[in-house]
Amino acid sequence: MLHRIALSLFLFWFVFQTNAAEPVDQRVDQLLGQMTLDEKLDYIGGVHAMSIRAVPRLGLPEILMTDGPLGVRRDKPSTRYPAGAAVAATWNRGLAEKEGVAMGRDCRARGIHVLLAPGVNIHRVSMCGRNFEYISGEDPFLASQLVVPFIRGVQSQGVVATIKHFAANNQETNRDHINVIVDERALREIYLPAFEAAVRTAGVGAVMDAYNKVNGQHCTENEFLNEHVLKGEWDFQGVLMSDWGATHSLIGPVKHGLDLEMPSGVWMNRKNLMQALQSHQISEDEINQKVRRILRMIVQMQFLDRPQQDTSIPQNDPASAQTALEIAREGIVLLKNKNAVLPLNAATTHKIAVFGVDADPGVPAGWGSSFLQPFYAISVLDGVRHHTEAQVDYFDVGVGSFQRSVFEHPEHSGEQGLKGEYFDNLTLSGKPILSRTDQNIDFEWGRDKGRLPSKFTVRWTGFIRPTASGTHVFRARSDAGIRVFLDGQTIINSWADHAARPDVATRTLQAGKRYRIRIEYKNIGGGGAIAQFGWASLEVPDAAKDYDVAVVCAGFDEGTEGEGFDRTFGLPDSQNELITRVAEKNPKTVVVLNCGGNVDMRPWLKQVSALIHAWYPGQEGGNAVAEILFGQTNPSGKLPVTFEEQKEDNPAYRWYPTSDGGKSVRYGEGIFVGYRGCDHNGIQPLFPFGYGLSYTRFEYSDLKVEPEADSIKVSFAIRNAGDRAGAEVAQLYVEPVKPSVERPIKELKGFEKVLLQPGESKELSITLDKRAFAYFDPTSKNWRSDPGQYDIAVGASSRNIKLRKRITVDFRTEK
């Protein structure tokens, strides 16, 4: 018996080793030749919402996919990394690769084959709900330089990376059907370079088509993007999949490059495909090519040759947590520091007041497929308390906390909480199926609602009793409907079905007076169920002036910024008023912003002493912010986007979000996105692209420009002229002097991040190739590098040029 088992194991090992050693294409042809037509037709439609189906008789396993750009999301806790925008703000290629490696390990710990990341869509306007996800910012060169190491990091761990969303998915408003009208030059120079780098330089294994249309065709059936550019020019050999539910027909996607419809074969299924084959609308060879690409990915990544799950990697991996902390540290951008109020002096800082909805608990994050629950999260309040011996007090002012709001029971005198009545219908009628006291309304039931049916309603009743007179904030968030009544008057009415979103109202209340409160909620079934409500005073106590510093954590969160909707430019939930009131009481007010990009800062920027942009900083965000506040980390982040003073200053705002009756959006700004557009239009930004302060000073000198055979070598020196160690991002821009065609005044074409000790100097070197001087000529369909004069400009931001030298170049057309 033991002999037979040993022989069987030997034979299995022999076949395994023999198959693994076979050339990739030979193994792919062998598998494809063994598949039946039915199996092939089934294979190009996803299964189980996040998988490529298994074919057990051929030894093909189920290929598991996972969201997302901020961590490995599979409905279980995982490491929550900072937002992609924070990665872009690090300007650190090595750190981007380190994050890719960490996410790849997180996938292997869970047996995941395909990571649906990174996202690299350009930040065209600040309001795009998914800007926070994207490792791109507004500049295609910066995006390309960071996405390549990230992809290489992921795939080095035996996990397929997926570049998304291809292409021009730059807003969430009407994303499913909006027709993006964009000229080819803008596509080539602004919106496609990061995808090109992912394919041609990083060798990304998968590409995800976007929801929107580009120039009249949905991306999942866009012949120009998928066939001509991606699979033609760039010779992409991997798998082209749809975004979830982004496929809108059968023949177009089959004919124009889509290999895999996700999350299932709604269109590309066995029945539809067989009918199309029989009517000769498509060919079996077209099906074979799609299956071949999927099989090639599986074979190349050795998914047939080893278990995908690596049990030696902990799911709560300390290495991943450390990477998340490092990105948060380097991604934070110091935007204002009046009178050097930061870093805080431990000897003179004895009392710290903390305010704001984003201060505690946990750390905020944007909503959507990238959202995940971390194993733990360090809030700013926690971080500050962990990093100082000073007295730290939190003021629940203007927050309307879902966890801390206080209610009085309507029937039991002296008891806190609300009377909750749960009904198994959508009309709040009949006898409740459940009656109980709920201390707070902070429910995210998910798919498992316990004793609750799929469709249900809830009525909560009770009283509130303010402790201060003045303005109060009432904040509700729900999926699918909620309404709030104060003393019988409707103050929030969001009863129509909708995805999770916030609703805010303000009312003037008197201290000590009791007000009757009623909250009604409905869930229509399917997906999650969310009901949250809180209230708070907006009156900042006079005691705030007695603190050495006030820290206000403001911005957005998963209720106000995320997938499926574009956010406002102004801060939500009366936060502008909160910041203003705190600053009036305490002249040393520091604002910490959490969001995916720029916001309207005009109501309060001049009144505050310091401003930190922390993006969505991940599970270690509170520690990273505290390190910046106390100077344990010297801020080194630089803006990957231009921060305009008002939204109307954005070069694309004139055409956002729709044109032509709401069915299309015209990219009328062309190539003049972000800093390119501000320069072109003569607009002074609030904070320019590449901007970020430090606690030390840097000096630039000794610019040298040396022509070589097919490139230009640029070198210069940087010196830390301050008294503490710090890192600087030196940025190189190319400026055509008298271009033959309309071009941006300057374009980023190189950068280096360097850490210097006090007094230390280093020489940096950057090589510029032909493409650094090129523009796309839509007439000849080529990249052209016109001979002529160019300025080589080196500086600390796009508007802070330290060194400049004019050269003459004579590069010819580059294909």
Please determine, for residue 236, whether its predicted confidence score (pLDDT) is greater than 50: yes
As a CATH number, domain 696-809 is 2.60.40.10
Q: Band the pLDDT of 314: cuts 50, 70, 90.
A: very high
Task: Give percent of the chain above pLDDT 70.
Answer: 96
Q: Tell me the mean pLDDT in the region 696-725.
A: 96
Q: Is 710 a catalytic residue?
A: no
Query: 56-101, pLDDT tens digit by residue?
Result: 999 999 999 999 899 999 878 999 999 999 999 999 999 999 999 9
What are the pLDDT digits (tens) for 17-64?
Answer: 335 557 999 999 999 999 999 999 999 999 999 999 999 999 999 999
Average pLDDT over residues 265-273: 98
pLDDT at residue 815 greater than cutoff 80: no
**Alpha-carbon Rg for the chain in angstroms:** 28
What's the one-letter identity of residue 42? D
Average pLDDT over residues 303-324: 98
Mean pLDDT calculated for residue range 190-199 = 98
CA 436: distance to chain centroid?
39
Residue of 726, 707, 710 lying closest to 718 (CA atoms): 726
The whole-number pLDDT of residue 452 equals 86
172 contact partners, CB below 8 Å, separation of at least 6: 128, 129, 130, 563, 564, 565, 566
Cβ-count burial 629-658 (b if 16+ within 10 Å, e if not):
bbeebbbbbbbbbbbbbebebbbbbebbbb
Average pLDDT on 194-213 reads: 98
Of 234, 241, 248, 282, give the one whose Cα is nearest residue 262. 241
Q: How far is residue 345's CA from residue 274's CA, in Å, rounded to a whole number?
A: 73
Answer whether residue 487 shows pLDDT above 50.
yes
**Of the candidates 771, 652, 693, the residue with the CA atom closest to the CA atom of residue 181:** 652
Q: DSSP string of 243-264?
A: -TT----SHHHHHTT--BBSSS
- Which pLDDT belongs to residue 479? 85
The arithmetic mean of pLDDT across residues 340-346, rounded, is 96
Mean pLDDT within 433-458: 85
Residue 2 predicted with pLDDT over 70: no
CB 743 within 8 A of CB 775: yes
Q: How many CA atoms lie within 13 A of 465 on its CB side?
A: 11
CATH 2.60.40.10 domain residues, the chain = 696-809
User: Between 81 and 498, where is the model more confident?
Assistant: 81
Catalytic residue among 42, 139, 243, 382: 243
CB-hemisphere CA count at 13 Å for 390? 26
Is the pLDDT at 528 greater than 80? The verdict is no
Tens digits of residue pLDDT in 747-775: 999 999 999 999 999 999 999 999 999 99
Q: Please give the pLDDT value at position 812.
A: 57
Tokens of 757: 């000790």
Strand partners, 180: 214, 665
CA geometry: angle 221, 669, 751, nearest 5 deg: 90
Nearest in space to 694 (alpha carbons), one of 646, 662, 726: 726
pTM for this entry: 0.93
Q: What order do you get walking across the sheet with 761-769 strand by strand?
A: 698-707, 711-720, 761-769
Determine the pLDDT at residue 413: 84
What's the pLDDT score for residue 526? 67
Is the predicted pLDDT of residue 8 greater than 50, yes or no? no
In angstroms, the CA 102 to CA 94 distance is 12
pLDDT band at 558 (very low <50, low <70, confident <90, very high): confident
CATH class of 418-537: mainly beta
Q: 411-424 pLDDT, tens per residue?
A: 988 899 999 999 99
160-187 pLDDT per residue, tens: 999 999 999 999 999 999 999 999 999 9
Say what the pLDDT of residue 403 is: 84
Burial, 710: exposed, middle or buried (Cβ in 10 Å; 0-12, 13-18, 19+)? exposed
> Which residue(s) pair with 733 in the sheet?
748, 793
Q: What pLDDT, in 10s, does the model give residues 629-686?
A: 999 999 999 999 999 999 999 999 999 999 887 899 999 999 999 999 999 999 999 9
Report helix angle 284-300 to 270-278, nearest 10: 140
Provide CATH 2.60.120.260 ranges for the chain: 418-537
